[in-house]
Structure 1
Amino acid sequence: MNSALLIVIAIAWFWAAYKWYGTKVENKLVSPNDDLSTPALAKNDGVDFYPSKAMILFGHHFSSIAGAGPILGPIAAVAAFGWGGTILWIFLGTAFLGAVHDYLSLMISVRHEGKSIPEIAQTVIGKRARNLFSIFVLITLILVVAVFGFVAAKTLMSTPQVIIPTFGLIPVAMIFGYMVYKKNTPLTISTIVALASLFFLIWLGYKIPISLPFEAHTSFAIWFILLMGYGLVASVLPVWMLLQPRDYISNWILIIGLALGLIGTLISHPTINAPAFTGLSSKSGPIWPMLFIMVACGAISGFHSLVGSGTTSKQLAKESDGKLVGYGAMLVEGVLATLALLAVSAGLFWNAPAGMEQFGFFNILSDGGPIKAFGVGYGRLVEPLLGVFGMLFGITMLKTFVMTTLDTTIRLGRFIASELIGPKVPAMKNRYVASLFIAIPAFYLGYTGTYSIIWPMFGASNQLVAALALLVITAYLVGVKKPTKYTLYPAIFMIITTCGALVYQGYHHLFGDKPNYVLGITSIVLLILAIVVAGEAKDILTKSKQTDSNVA
């Protein structure tokens, strides 16, 4: 199949999804009312609650939910099962599950004073569901902080060219935030200046790579401590000062890279040479449920519900902006996932001819991992536009988001810790104390590398968060007498799929050739959690059938 044709189909599909299905969900389930005061206005504290311009908030939200996830997930799925099933799930999952999940997580939080999805679970399902959900999410967020801190430190060591743009973006973002929000400088002018500064920093970084003159362990320790310190400080600063502007500026790198990738593919239009289908199973497991777990952010991700109901809902200036930010950002992520798929399935060879082995997918994957595979494949797609710099830009585009997830996740963990523990331990309502509560265990897990013990379970746990968030959303819709079919069927599918993955992984880790009892027991615990929360919601789900029969 010609890659240019798939790009055209993807753009048309996601545009139609936004105009048709997104509008349908907006009108039937949300009914935005700009006369209502959003939490950003009603609870404006200048720190976490702060009204944002729509495009800046889109930039924050997209930067927080995108990054490596929608790139690495589809690449792994294509390698395991072929591109046919992967692209089908990206198309359908993004439009009918992921974007709906993201948009409604955001808007339900807006209608609940900016509370997180786990906290809202208490109102619409029950206290036990809320406690279990919140504890599970807290552990997941601590793990994410540890992993991103570890990966970011290793990235700075292995790619010294990104150090100057990574840290140089901090003062650029702070100046941008000050000029836009305090001096009312036009957004267009501020954006042009900020982007020019960022591209200069990227150029300077490649001209002056910075490597620490120490042994590997010492260099890692220095970068890791600096990154975790940054994440801790940034997570308590006012959102307008760093979080919003930094994510907005970073977002432009991804948007520009995405646009170049799409245009480059239309010009070069290589044939997809990866197999469309490799079989019903692979070494990663059966196509169901494992493909749906592997694609992750490329179709639906529970982490997105935490961002939408965590930071984004506290910055939404008016309800009508919600569709663009929540539904729209996820569709753009679907386009990014499609480009990632094409970068390796059309930009690289799956059976490299003689003399082209350096562009063979499996050769690159074994040598440099999926990040390098994406970079090389992306570089070949955009070669008509960027020449030899295509690969460097592709990897830079991916690594620009090294720090966006770090402080956003600490901030999200702070919110949930304050909601869960704050009522009984008043000190936890202090943003500094709550941030340390997240950062300290994350620091230990990342610095020692012990996060790797349970990290293989993150894919299933992330999709479990999505399934539970959809249950909470469905329960809310029942309460306000709105149609539930838009979220109930996705919730059931995700619960069954996630439980299927946990059963498979649990059996594999407990009774396989190389048993891993920690992962096996973790699978069982997550499976029990899913069953308990679903059981808590069973009465709500029963009512939802009556709701759908009575509500158009």
Structure 2
Amino acid sequence: MTSWLMALIAFVVFFLGYHFYSRFIAERLFQLDPDYRTPSRRFEDGVDFVPTNKYVLWGHHFTSVAGAAPIIGPAIAMIWGWGPALAWVLIGTVFMAGIHDFGTLWISVRNRGQSIGAIARNVISPRALTLFLLIIFFLLLMVNAVFAVAIGTLFSTFPESVLPYWLQIPIAIAIGFLVYRRQWGIVLPSLVGLAALLGLVYAGTIVPLELPKEMAGYSSTAWWVLIMLGYGAIASRLPVWLLLQPRDFINSHLLFVCLVLVYLGVFIGQPEIVAPMYNEAVPDDAPPLLPLLFVTIACGAISGFHGLVSSGTSSKQLRYETDARFVGYLGSTGEGLLAVAAILATAAGFATVGDWNDHYGTWAQASSKGIAAFVQGAGNHVENLGIPVEVATTFMSMMVVAFAATTLDTSMRLQRFILGEIGRQYRMPALGNINFATVIVFLSCAALAFFADPNNPGAGGMVLWPLFGTTNQLTAGLSLLILTLVLWHLKRPIIFTLVPFLFLGVMTAWSMVINIGGYLADGNMLLLVIGGGILVLNVWLVLEGVNALRHSREASEMLDMGDG
């Protein structure tokens, strides 16, 4: 298959999925009501509950869920060949991610903007809330640790991205002030901000910024990890209108430009696919394709983190219930396009088959250099448009950093919400204190980032990726279980959520057992305890769900149908 044909197939599949399947979901399963009073209008507070234009909210949602994960996962999974990776991204996006993201957004809107974990209490049992909240807390913990390490690695590898990233923050704050305090329209300021950011990308190639290779016994990557976690903690406390929304809207434009450039570069340059469709010479240290493919590529196919964003921040900003299809399903489709771009960058972005084989010579090498492979490969595609490769790679690294950071502070905000819900559940008011909860989030994420890999403190956190992917998919499966139970009680078709739930349940439990065996063999007790605990919590919660299905409740007990 040629590179341009791969891209064309992806566009056609995603278009058909959104045009037909998402409409079926909206009309038959969720039965969206344009007159329903959403939580953003019922509980507007100017901080978390903010009625938002669907295009602006789509930008926030898209950039929050995209991050670096749909780049890292496919780039690593290419070790098995581009065929399995592409098939899983296309099928997973259309038939699993779309209904998962759309569904968790819808059900949260119908439950006063509560998180999917809190909804588990109403749908399954009060005990289910605790189980789900613990699983979500561990997932967010790994999201923050992994993304902070990914950003630190990029800053160390591509110092040209440092200047444009940090100067993007005051630009976003200025836009937020103009739009929400001076009542300017969002389009013009965001376009001006995007233009300024593109100019800064060029400036970054002229003025690269680096930290010393080592300070106080820690590498520059480790220090960047601490800096990014500190930034994320501060950003997570700010009102969403001040930084989160305007920066996400700029980033949505940035990602759109990135995707256009990469795909144009593919169609114009028509680079040769040097990666095998199915790799028959997989390195000895690589795990088996089944089931690890389905957790290595999480974001970009289906991701439990998306349900946390949908039910955590996006549901509190959705102005009309009918906007959920555009924000939820189309958001997952956009991430699928990013995952396909990552596949194209790592399948056709190397000059020769030998270069590709050198990069994917070992599982450890593929895991640690996945982002770098995407940045370099995508930069090579953009070079086909006449853009200097140095500028192109800086632009790509800046884009990855921007989205990883967006996910980081959204995730830290969500983790603070989860701590607050745990505090309310167990009457620990301190966990609901914004300052105390933020400190707990920062310390726990930093501890995991620094101690997950004893041989490389703070800089080797990509050892977390398999555990992150598995926990992520377990969470997605549990969200689908909640959605299935709700549809069952509403007497609506459940096959469209039940099949994805069963598939993910089998693949992720199988993967977690393999991961736990590896941690036991390596003597990594920290990850062994975390992985084992998450698996126990997951099995327990599924059993609670089965029990709830046997003891059916009325739908009115589960869905807040009032104020419609």
Same fold (TM > 0.5): yes
Q: Distance in 2 between matches of 1:439 and 1:180?
A: 30
5+ residue gaps, structure 2, are 452-456, 556-564
Q: Distance in 1 between matches of 2:476 and 2:344?
A: 26
Structure 1 residues 481-511: Cα deviation after superposition (integer angstroms, max 9, x where no partner): 222111111111111111111222333444x
Identity of aligned residues (%): 37
Q: 1:485 to 1:435 in 2, by over 3 A?
A: same
Give the conservation status (yes or no) of the 8 Å contact 2:58–2:327.
yes
Give the conservation status (yes or no) of the 8 Å contact 2:67–2:400.
yes
5+ residue gaps, structure 1, are 548-552
Q: TM-score, normalised by structure 2?
A: 0.89
Q: 1:312 to 1:533 in 2, by over 3 A?
A: same
Determine which of 428, 433, 438 is the counterpart of 1:435. Answer: 438
Tell me what 2:166 maps to: 167
Q: Distance in 1 between matches of 2:288 and 2:220?
A: 41
Q: Distance in 1 between matches of 2:242 and 2:526?
A: 42
Matches within 5 A, 1:19-38: 19-38=19-38
Q: Distance in 1 between matches of 2:294 and 2:211?
A: 41
Determine which of 543, 546, 563 is the counterpart of 1:538. Answer: 546
Tell me what 1:550 maps to: none
Q: Secondary structure at the match of 1:537?
A: helix
Give the conservation status (yes or no) of the 8 Å contact 1:289–1:497.
yes
Q: CA deviation at 1:415?
A: 1.1
Tell me what 1:469 maps to: 479
2:497 is the counterpart of 1:487: yes
Give the conservation status (yes or no) of the 8 Å contact 2:161–2:395.
no
Q: CA deviation at 1:320?
A: 1.5
Give the conservation status (yes or no) of the 8 Å contact 1:302–1:469.
yes
More deviation, 150-159/424-433: 150-159
Q: 1:163 to 1:124 in 2, by over 3 A?
A: same
Tell me what 2:141 maps to: 142
Q: CA deviation at 1:529?
A: 2.1
Matches within 5 A, 1:91-110: 91-110=90-109
Determine which of 291, 298, 319 is the counterpart of 1:289. Answer: 291
Determine which of 432, 453, 459 is the counterpart of 2:469. Answer: 459
Amino acid at match of 2:511: A
Q: 1:276 to 1:395 in 2, by over 3 A?
A: same
Q: CA deviation at 1:382?
A: 2.2
Tell me what 2:191 maps to: 192
Q: CA deviation at 1:30?
A: 1.8
More deviation, 278-287/169-178: 278-287
Q: Distance in 1 between matches of 2:439 and 2:383?
A: 46
Tell me what 2:40 maps to: 40
Give the conservation status (yes or no) of the 8 Å contact 1:102–1:305.
yes
Q: Distance in 2 between matches of 1:535 and 1:359?
A: 44
Amino acid at match of 1:229: G
Tell me what 1:237 maps to: 238
Give the conservation status (yes or no) of the 8 Å contact 1:344–1:361.
no
Q: CA deviation at 1:240?
A: 0.6
Q: CA deviation at 1:325?
A: 1.0
Q: 1:496 to 1:49 in 2, by over 3 A?
A: same
Q: CA deviation at 1:402?
A: 3.7
Amino acid at match of 2:181: K
Q: CA deviation at 1:480?
A: 2.4
Q: 1:280 to 1:120 in 2, by over 3 A?
A: farther
Q: Distance in 1 between matches of 2:537 and 2:207?
A: 50
Amino acid at match of 1:525: G
Amino acid at match of 1:266: F
The alignment covers a number of residue pairs equal to 538
Amino acid at match of 2:428: V
Matches within 5 A, 1:131-530: 131-212=130-211, 215-216=214-215, 217=218, 223-279=224-280, 283-349=285-351, 351-352=353-354, 357=355, 361-362=359-360, 366=365, 369-385=369-385, 386-388=387-389, 389-423=391-425, 424-446=427-449, 449=457, 452=461, 456-510=466-520, 514=522, 516=524, 518-530=526-538
Q: Distance in 2 between matches of 1:491 and 1:54?
A: 29
Q: 1:214 to 1:129 in 2, by over 3 A?
A: same
Q: Distance in 1 between matches of 2:221 and 2:2?
A: 43
2:116 is the counterpart of 1:117: yes
Tell me what 2:559 maps to: none
Q: 1:523 to 1:402 in 2, by over 3 A?
A: closer
Q: Secondary structure at the match of 1:242?
A: helix
Give the conservation status (yes or no) of the 8 Å contact 2:10–2:90.
yes
Q: Distance in 2 between matches of 1:117 and 1:307?
A: 10
Q: Distance in 1 between matches of 2:365 and 2:69?
A: 19
Q: 1:253 to 1:523 in 2, by over 3 A?
A: same
Q: Secondary structure at the match of 1:403?
A: helix
Amino acid at match of 1:187: I
Give the conservation status (yes or no) of the 8 Å contact 1:3–1:346.
yes
Amino acid at match of 2:341: L
Q: Secondary structure at the match of 2:45?
A: coil
Give the conservation status (yes or no) of the 8 Å contact 1:152–1:402.
yes
Q: CA deviation at 1:165?
A: 1.6
Structure 1 residues 95-116: Cα deviation after superposition (integer angstroms, max 9, x where no partner): 0001111111111111111110
Give the conservation status (yes or no) of the 8 Å contact 1:90–1:338.
yes
Q: Distance in 2 between matches of 1:257 and 1:186?
A: 24
Q: Secondary structure at the match of 1:272?
A: coil
Structure 1 residues 246-301: Cα deviation after superposition (integer angstroms, max 9, x where no partner): 11111211110101111111111223232112359764322221111111112011
RMSD: 2.7
Give the conservation status (yes or no) of the 8 Å contact 1:39–1:110.
yes
Q: 1:288 to 1:199 in 2, by over 3 A?
A: same
Q: Distance in 1 between matches of 2:505 and 2:213?
A: 48
Give the conservation status (yes or no) of the 8 Å contact 1:177–1:242.
yes
Q: CA deviation at 1:455?
A: 5.7
Q: Secondary structure at the match of 1:416?
A: helix
Q: Distance in 1 between matches of 2:164 and 2:256?
A: 17
Q: Distance in 2 between matches of 1:139 and 1:193?
A: 39
More deviation, 212-221/117-126: 212-221
Q: 1:522 to 1:420 in 2, by over 3 A?
A: closer
Q: 1:350 to 1:72 in 2, by over 3 A?
A: farther
Give the conservation status (yes or no) of the 8 Å contact 1:74–1:341.
yes
Q: Distance in 2 between matches of 1:288 and 1:224?
A: 32
Q: Distance in 2 between matches of 1:458 and 1:175?
A: 35
Amino acid at match of 1:524: G
Give the conservation status (yes or no) of the 8 Å contact 1:350–1:361.
no
Amino acid at match of 1:55: Y
Q: TM-score, normalised by structure 1?
A: 0.90
More deviation, 267-276/140-149: 140-149
Q: Secondary structure at the match of 2:371?
A: helix
Give the conservation status (yes or no) of the 8 Å contact 1:54–1:325.
yes
More deviation, 369-378/7-16: 369-378
Amino acid at match of 1:486: F
Q: CA deviation at 1:515?
A: 5.3
Q: 1:187 to 1:418 in 2, by over 3 A?
A: same
Q: Distance in 1 between matches of 2:375 and 2:358?
A: 13
